[in-house]
């Protein structure tokens, strides 16, 4: 499932300064019943965006018009914990986001994002707080995420931090490649290996 290339993204951001956001919040289990990858953006943070009657909660950041159209989400520490459901990463993408910034990511969520073209950017707790403060002061504050240079910059102040990504995943993101393309090309090596497995 190829995705659009990711090079440099400059955008405003939705702030979500809550810690330990789990994937059951990102997409509740009752919305996992599809057999195709469609429509997950509608149920992104469903139970935090809508009340029990289905009315939008206006001041929840993802509904707040002052952040509308942002392609980045800045989340609290330990973003994406819990279930391995890739639907959580799909819902991020389908909602229109291409990048999540946090001071700490849960493992499986981070991996799922990288596999579908959402860039997880881990920054220091201090830098994450600067981003929250800047967005709080000006909802139109822009953040530049530069994948080739592995930097994230708060444009209003020019403050910048570098982030880690392994070279292989970086190449994939820059070119819109995925792991299946890679694996398909080494099937002979895999089958030779499989012959050696005792069970």
Partner 1 sequence: MSKTLFDKVWDSHVVRKIEDGPDVFFIDRHFIHEVTSPVAFVGLRSRGIGVMYPERTFATADHNTPTWNQHLPVADPLSANQLEALANNAAEYGISHWGLGHRNNGIVHIVGPENGITLPGSTIVCGDSHTSTHGAFGAIAFGIGTSEVEMVLSTQCIMQPKPKKMRINVNGALGFGVTPKDVALYIISQQTTSGATGYFVEYAGDVFEDMSMEGRMTVCNLSIEMGARGGMIAPDEKTFEYIKDRKHTPKGADWDKAMAYWKTLYTEADAEFDVEFNYNASDIEPMITYGTNPGMGMGVTQSIPMAEDVQGGVATYKKSLGYMKFGEGDNMIGKQVDYVFLGSCTNGRIEDFRAFCSIVEGRQKAENITAWLVPGSHKVVDQIKEEGLDKILEAAGFVLREPGCSACLAMNDDKVPAGKLAVSTSNRNFEGRQGPGSRTLLASPLVAAATAVEGVVTDPRTLIKETA
Residues that bind partner 1 (CB under 8 A): 1, 17-20, 22, 24-25, 28-30, 32-37, 47, 52, 76-78, 81-87, 89, 104-108, 111-112, 115-116, 166-169, 178-180, 182-184, 186-187, 189-191, 193-194, 197-199
103-132 burial, b for 16+ CB within 10 Å, e for fewer?
bbbbebbbbbbbbbbbbbbbbeeebbebbb
CB-wise, 158 or 199, nearer to partner 1?
199
For residues 121 and 138, give the distance between their C-alpha atoms in angstroms, rounded to a whole number: 21
Per the rule left: phi > 0, alpha: psi between -120 and 50, beta: everything else, 82 is left
- Nearer to partner 1 by Cβ, of 71 and 77: the residue is 77
Comparing CB distances to partner 1, the nearer of 70 and 83 is 83
Rounded-to-integer distance, Cα 179 and Cα 166, Å:
14
User: Quick one: 65 or 196, whose CB is closer to partner 1?
Assistant: 196
Output the smallest distance, CB 83 to partner 1, in A.
5
């Amino acid at each position: 499932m190829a995705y659009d290339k990711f090079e440099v993204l400059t955008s405003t951001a939705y702030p979500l300064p809550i810690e330990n956001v789990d994937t059951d919040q990102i997409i509740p289990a009752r919305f996992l019943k599809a057999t195709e990858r469609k429509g997950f953006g509608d149920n992104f943070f469903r139970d935090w965006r809508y009340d029990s009657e289905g009315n939008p909660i206006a001041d929840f950041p993802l509904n707040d018009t002052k952040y509308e159209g942002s392609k980045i989400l800045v989340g609290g520490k330990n973003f994406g914990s819990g279930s391995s459901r890739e639907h959580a990463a799909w819902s991020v993408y389908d909602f229109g986001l291409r990048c999540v910034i946090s001071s700490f990511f849960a493992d499986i969520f981070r991996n799922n994002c990288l596999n579908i073209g959402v860039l997880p950017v881990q920054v220091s707790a201090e830098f994450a707080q600067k981003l929250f403060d800047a967005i709080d002061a000006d909802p139109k504050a822009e953040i530049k995420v530069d994948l080739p240079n592995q930097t994230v910059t708060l444009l209003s102040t020019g403050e910048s931090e570098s982030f880690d990504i392994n070279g292989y995943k970086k190449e994939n993101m820059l070119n819109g490649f995925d792991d299946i393309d890679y694996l398909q090309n080494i099937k002979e090596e895999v089958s030779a290996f499989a012959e050696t497995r005792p069970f």
